[in-house]
Amino acid sequence: MGLTWKERAFTALLGAAAVSGLTTLILFLVEATNVLLPADTKFGIVFDAGSSHTSLFVYQWLANKENDTGVVSQALACRVKGPGISSYASDPAQAGESLQGCLEEALALIPKAKHQQTPMFLGATGGMRLLSQKNSSQAEDVFAAVSQALSRSPVAFWGAELLAGQDEGALGWVTINYILGLLVQYSFSGEWIQPLEGTSVGALDMGGASTQITFVPGGPILDTTTQATFRLYGTEHSVYTHSYLCFGRDQMLNRLLAGLVQSSPSLLVRHPCYHSGYRGTLALAPLYGSPCVQAAAPRDLGQNLTVEGTGNPGACVAAIRGLFNFSSCDGRGDCAFDSVYQPPVRGQFYVEASSPGQDGQLRDYCASGLYILTLLLEGYGFSQETWGGIEFREQAGGTNIGWTLGYMLNLTSLIPAEAPAQWRAQSYGVWVAGVVFLVLTVTAILGATVVQLWLRD
């Protein structure tokens, strides 16, 4: 049986309402999509030239959101083969050549059309700081060779520089708090929400030559030389930060061994931190080549040293404690060690520690672990109550923890001083589309109801 004219009219009205509503919705969604669809992707490259090795990181972000929060992500992490660039002091050209493998990986990842627009940086830390102290002309030669090699690449090389220890710590704090979204949050109501006081996390970094601690203390920072201030998203952040050169993992191991050599009557040293049964030989000269080793060197540095492990944890801790001057902080509640001012630790901390080297890593595990424990408990002042707030992580949110992301964000001005208004427009577009859809749906239902009532009459 065919439809009556009233039923046909009813169907036509419903169809017209549906088409009209769908068309309008599509138009609004297209308008919102013009704002929300991913725009052109940009890239940035940062070399982290540490004391023991160099790493390359590629970051990417959307061009139309480069002043927003939480949009920069890590696209590549590459560990350069060989030692840190400071190890090439006698052959600077090799320092530049050593970076080519990871650079080629980065260039293969980034589209060629983007190469000229991609900024590239190299920041050097503890190893080059020590080389600069020991021989400034050699350090300058290494930087020149690295800059020359990287300048030949098709990307926009912005230069190589030596980072101060305080900058390394402060930028590491920016990185971890940026990754975790603790600098600013965006609410569903379309407003920027500043983080609650005390919600930021501290940053601890254990490198090969230096170690850094950075956090927001519970009170005023009494020593302004340990203070770093940022204005990020309209909020001023004041952090305590200090870098201890010569207290990184590799330099600690050298200082520890040199101290044992000094107390030994012969060139046979029994090392309490090495496992029982270990026996090895090494050249003396490299041990005393670092400015961190203050112990008196034997007269003949051309000799070899024989080291035997005894596996004595108690004696190992005692030897490690001898690397610190804890007595200089006796009676002071705002002192870490070596007379360095530090407020009491506060809040949660993320720790990035360098992994043991490929040579003798089993041999060094005990010393490294007990050293980190001594540094955190007796040096930085963590306790049983605050220990639970420490997280040992290499990454957070798929991004490596460290100073490199904060460094690039700073140099490329990707974090503005004030919260941008762009996200408000994006949120508003989606909100309007949702409201329009709701209104059209209600209108269609009401229209259908009216027509049904009409048909019944």
pLDDT, tens only, 46-62: 999 999 999 999 999 88
Compute, in degrees rounded to 10, the torsion defined by CA atoms 131, 132, 136, 141.
70
The C-alpha atoms of residue 82 and residue 84 are separated, in whole angstroms, by 7
Q: Which residue type is seen at 43?
A: F
- Two tokens at 413? 């001005």
What 92-96 contacts at long range (C-beta under 8 Å, 24+ apart), as own/partner pairs, is 92/138, 92/141, 92/142, 92/144, 92/145, 92/146, 93/145, 93/149, 95/142, 95/145, 95/146, 95/149, 96/145, 96/146, 96/147, 96/148, 96/149, 96/150
Contacts of 301 (CB under 8 A, 6+ apart): 284, 285, 288
Q: Is 308 a catalytic residue?
A: no
CB 72 within 8 A of CB 415: no
pLDDT of the residue at 292: 96
Whether 378 has a pLDDT exceeding 80, the answer reads: yes
Structure tokens at 426: 């994006």
Q: Given a cut of 60, is residue 28 above it in pLDDT? A: no
Q: How confident is the model at residue 305 (pLDDT cuts 50, 70, 90)?
A: very high
Asked if 120 and 48 touch (Cβ cutoff 8 Å), the reply is: no
Task: Please report where in the chains the tokens 């080291």 appear, as a residue.
Answer: 307
What residues does each domain of the chain span? 5-37+423-456
326 Cβ partners below 8 Å, 6+ apart?
337, 378, 379
pLDDT at residue 299 in the model: 78
pLDDT at 33 over 70: no
* Mean pLDDT computed over 158-165: 96
Residues 280-288, mean pLDDT to the nearest whole number: 91
Residue of 105, 168, 378, 385 with catalytic role: 168
> Is the pLDDT reported for residue 161 higher than 90?
yes
Q: How far apart are alpha carbons 110 and 256 in whole angstroms? A: 44
Please compute the mean of the pLDDT values over residues 226-243 and round it to a whole number.
90
pLDDT in tens, 91-106: 999 999 999 999 999 9
- In terms of phi and psi (left: phi > 0; alpha: psi -120 to 50; beta: otherwise), the region of 234 is left
Terminal Cα-to-Cα distance of the chain (whole angstroms): 21
> Per DSSP, what are the bridge partners of residue 350?
203, 391
Percent of the chain with pLDDT over 90: 63
With 90 as the cut, is the pLDDT of residue 261 above it? yes
Rounded to 5°, the CA angle 220-222-223 comes to 135
Q: What are the Cα distances from residue 318, in Å, to 184, 272, 326, 367?
A: 45, 10, 13, 11
Task: List Cβ neighbours of 310 (8 Å cut-off, separation of 6 or more).
Answer: 270, 271, 272, 274, 276
Measured between alpha carbons, how far is 444 from 452 in angstroms, rounded to an integer?
12
